[in-house]
Amino acid sequence: MTYLVGGCVRDLLLGIHPKDFDIATNARPDEVKRTIHRAYIIGKRFRLVLVRRDEMQFEVATFRREVGADEVREDLPAGDNVFGTAEEDARRRDFTINGLFYDPIADQLIDYAEGLPDLEHRWVRMIGDPTVRLTEDPIRIMRALRLKHMIGFALDPELRKAMQDYASTLPTTALPRRREEILKWLRLKNPDLGFREAYDLGILKFVAPTLHAALERGGDEAEVFYSYLQQIPYGEEVPLSPGDLFGLLALAYMRAFLQSEPDAGPGTRSIFDNPAFQTWMRDELGMFKFEQTLTTKALHVEPLLAKRREFQRKGERRQRALLNNEAFPLALRFAISDYLLGCEDLLYWRQNYATVREQNPHAAEGARRKRRRTRPRRPRTGAPPANPNPTPRK
């Protein structure tokens, strides 16, 4: 028994091309691995099977069920690996429209969670009592908001009220999980609408209190911030990286609340030394250090793009240094958002950057590797032996 499940079924019914296809089965992970060629078991808390076919990969999960209150935890498998039936699996999912199963062999749609009526009436509704389900995992608050704006549905009134009532529990969740949801907000077609509603519902106050406080002042500054979010590219063939998305979000914050023009007001470095701005990036957004550094470099490079004539007078070596700068692509996106370049200048930078990348496609990666090699190393004297199987760095 094997079905397509979740978002891919929902999107197919809405006429949207799914980004990926999730599969659920009654076979255990070990059985799936033995049956399917090029299948790999991944995860510990939630064991599933990753299957690769050419450039695509599929996640195959075994049906799960909720653990009963009368069951002894010590006798159960570690993590979220308590297997069950298809119906039990459907009812433990988050939203009704994500609980649909499709059997491609029998061409049968299976709806255990009453998702079809909600799909027809365009409701985002929680499976079960919203107050209970949001208490179990407050990240569902951010997911519900994203789902609403991703497919253009309305929030069920009970779910909406529960989201407002339990928004204060979001800081108890892990920062990396909130980071991923913020990135998904930024990948929406209209990210400004998602952030507006997050503010209106009081969600942003507990996800990014620094940004909430800035928006709370209202006025033109808030509208400037939202206007920058509207310019975040959507639907590009090559999706923006997390560093690019966070960089554009940081640019929106800076232009709205700290420095309205690329070359006006306090210097870029003084802005990045601002404790509130640092806290927002590091502790609220969960930006990695290299992402913060990339944004800083891009802000330094951006004003140089407005000086094309001066750049053309420089020697070839200095020109290549700028075009090979790892922050150049993000700086160019900043310049577009700031309306800093005319059509002729924009075409010039794009053509020259493309030419340099064709000639030396690994220049930026080489610079990153070189920077990593120059980090101080632990003295050999008295140091423990190197780990022959180090954990890969993210």
Residue numbers annotated as active site: 20, 22, 94
Q: How far apart are CA 251 and CA 304, in angstroms?
A: 17
Contact 243, 291 (CB under 8 A): yes
* CA angle, 304 then 306 then 308, to 5°: 85
> Cβ distance 46 to 27 under 8 Å?
no
Residue of 362, 378, 297, 287 whose CA lies nearest to 333: 297
CA–centroid distance for 63 within its chain: 26
| Residue 268 CB neighbours (<10 A) | 21
Q: How many C-beta atoms lie closer than 10 Å to residue 287's C-beta?
A: 24
CB atoms within 10 A of CB 229: 23
Non-local (6+) Cβ contacts of 283 within 8 A are 175
Strand order in the sheet with 108-111: 39-42, 48-53, 56-62, 22-25, 2-5, 100-103, 108-111
Q: Are the beta carbons of 55 and 62 closer than 8 angstroms?
A: no
- How far is 22 from 59, CA to CA, in rounded Å? 5
| Total Cβ atoms within 10 A of residue 70 | 5
